Amino acid sequence: MKVIHTIAELGKYQRPAFVPTMGNLHEGHIALVKQAKALGDVTVASIFVNRLQFLPHEDFGTYPRTLEADCKKLEAAGCDVVFAPSEAELYPEPQGYKVQPPAELADILEGHFRPGFFTGVCTVVLKLFNIVQPGVAVFGAKDYQQQMVIRRMVAQMALPIEIVTGATLRADDGLALSSRNGYLSPAERAEAVQLSRTLKGMIAALKMGERNIAAIEQHAMKTLADRHWQPDYLSVRRRHDLQPPQAGDFGADKLVVLGAAKLGTTRLIDNIEV
């Protein structure tokens, strides 16, 4: 496996399979890399903590940088190239040009609670796409809204890249794997599974015939708040556009439940398709 730190060194790899990450890798990331390996002759993973997608009060400064450990995991997974640029390499001057995704998709849910997040994501992903020139790129389903935003950016910008979604990996108790799980204390880690259990409770209500979406969401919010979480949203949405469901949207394979909540100082997200 080759570790590259400069844009110039990437030029010789033709249309690789690409997995962009912010490092601090877990088995969910490694599963995406293994999925990418089956889709291209050469697999490139990037490791870059992107300042543009962090709000001033968020954890950009303390986000774990674990390049050496990450490279060992990637090499064991069969990754061919790691692109790990410095901030000066990727942003040699202030990034004045940015990608602004449409508000109806980017300013709801995550975008509502993290203003500008998807502008930062789209800007760095487009830049990485231009640098790596992949034929296919793999993103995790845990970041449901993010992969939808990127998929639509690729379509609207007519980029010759296939976007593939990798399934969410979960711990044995159901907690979605996340780099931020490492912030949890032992007691918080035991409690963290309640996020996915609450989402499953929302699905159970839908399957029982409940159609008062506001009531389902309010009950879910209260469930977590009563357990000393600080929920941002627990929401039932249509899969294809993440808008609230209408009367005709309750058929099979049309809905997704999504949640984001803070446990202690750690903000967790999850989703489950209905």
Q: What angle do CA 83, 89, 92 make, to 5 degrees?
A: 155
> Shortest CA distance to 60 belongs to which of 23, 94, 98?
23
Residues labelled as active-site residues: 29
CA neighbours within 13 Å on the CB side: how many for 271?
A: 23
User: Using an 8 Å Cβ cutoff, are 163 and 139 in contact?
Assistant: yes
Query: Per DSSP, what are the bridge partners of residue 44?
Result: 18, 81
**CB under 8 Å to 130, separation ≥6 — which residues?**
none
> Shortest CA distance to 122 belongs to which of 147, 140, 142, 141?
147
CA neighbours within 13 Å on the CB side: how many for 242?
A: 24
Helix axes 144-156, 117-132, angle to 10 degrees: 60
